[in-house]
Amino acid sequence: MVMRRLRALLATGVLMALFALVLNACGGGASGGGEHHQQANASPLPEEKALPPGEYHSEEFKPAFSFRVGKGWRTSSDLQEAPDRLIIAEGKEVKGFLNLLIFRNVHEVYDSQKHKWVEVNSSEDIVSWFQHHPYLQTEKPEPVTVGGVKGVQFDYVLAEDSPEDAVKSFRYSDGLVASVDSGTNNQGLILDVKGETVSITIGCATSEFDEFLPKAKKVLDTVKWEGA
C-alpha cells in the first residue's frame, strides 16, 4: 500500500534515548534490562535523511521494535513516525510512487459499501476487511513469522473494476488517510504482537514490486519486538 504525502510532527525522542542509556548503565532495574540494552545498541530514526546501514528502533510507534537496514533506505518529512505508523522508503520515486515499508497499528478502516469508517479491534478484523473488500483483489492468506511473532501474509492490488483510481484503507489517529492505488502492488502482513494488531505493508509501483519485495523482506527478517 503506497502512502501519499503523509504529514505529522515527529518527536526527537532524545531525552527518552538518554534515559534508556542511563537505565542500561544502571542494570535496567529489576526487569527489562535486556530490552533497554537492545534499544541502547540501536539508533532512533533521523528526520528526512538517508539511513546509514545499521540498526534502528522506534520511538513513538507501539509496540516498540528495532530493525536493521542496508544501503538505500531513508526517512522523509512526509513519512514521519507516529504512535500508529512507522514508514521507511527505499530507492527513488517511480511513476509517482515510493518503495515503502509501512508498519501500522491503526483501529479504523474504510467500509466502501457503507461509505464510512469502521472500527477494527483484532488481526482477524483486518484480514477479513482485506478479503471481503469489493474493490481489492486479494490473495489467500499464508502463514508468516516476523520477529518471532506468527501471522499471515497476502498480496493485494486494486481491482480492475474499481470505480476509482484509489480506495481509502486506513485512517491514522491524527486524521491522515492511507489508500490503495491503481498502478501499485502490495503485500500485507498482519500480526498480533502482545495483544496489539500490527499491519505491515510492502508497497510500490507494480514495475518495482519483484525487485523491492526481497529488499523489504530482508529488513523484516531483522525485526525484534521489544519484550517479545
| CATH number of 107's domain | 3.40.1000.10
pTM: predicted TM-score of the whole model, two decimal places: 0.82
User: Which pLDDT belongs to residue 40?
Assistant: 55
Query: Residue 115 — very low, low, confident or very high, per pLDDT cuts 50/70/90?
Result: very high
Does residue 180 fall inside a structural domain? Answer: yes
Question: For residue range 118-170, what is the model confidence (pLDDT) as tens digits?
Answer: 999 999 999 999 999 999 999 999 999 999 999 999 999 999 999 999 999 99
Q: By three-state DSSP, how is residue 61 classified?
A: coil
Closest-CA residue to 131 (of 161, 101, 152): 152
The 8 Å CB, 24+ separation contacts for 52-58 are 55/222, 58/86, 58/103
**205 pLDDT exceeds 50?**
yes
Question: For residue range 68-114, what is the model confidence (pLDDT) as tens digits?
Answer: 999 999 997 777 899 999 999 999 999 999 999 999 999 999 999 99
Does residue 41 fall inside a structural domain? Answer: yes
User: Which pLDDT belongs to residue 55?
Assistant: 97
**30 pLDDT exceeds 70?**
no
Does residue 48 fall inside a structural domain? Answer: yes
**197 pLDDT exceeds 60?**
yes
* Number of separate domains in the chain: 1
Does residue 9 fall inside a structural domain? Answer: no
User: Which pLDDT belongs to residue 22?
Assistant: 29
List residues bridging with 199 in a β-sheet. Answer: 104, 190
Closest-CA residue to 213 (of 95, 96, 93, 91): 91
Does residue 54 fall inside a structural domain? Answer: yes
* Residue that wins the pLDDT comparison between 193 and 20: 193
- Residue ranges making up the domain that contains 85: 14-225
**Burial (0-12, 13-18, 19+ Cβ within 10 Å), 21:** middle
Does residue 5 fall inside a structural domain? Answer: no
Does residue 92 fall inside a structural domain? Answer: yes
Closest-CA residue to 183 (of 40, 1, 15, 19): 1
User: Which pLDDT belongs to residue 46?
Assistant: 85
* Residue that wins the pLDDT comparison between 141 and 40: 141
Does residue 64 fall inside a structural domain? Answer: yes
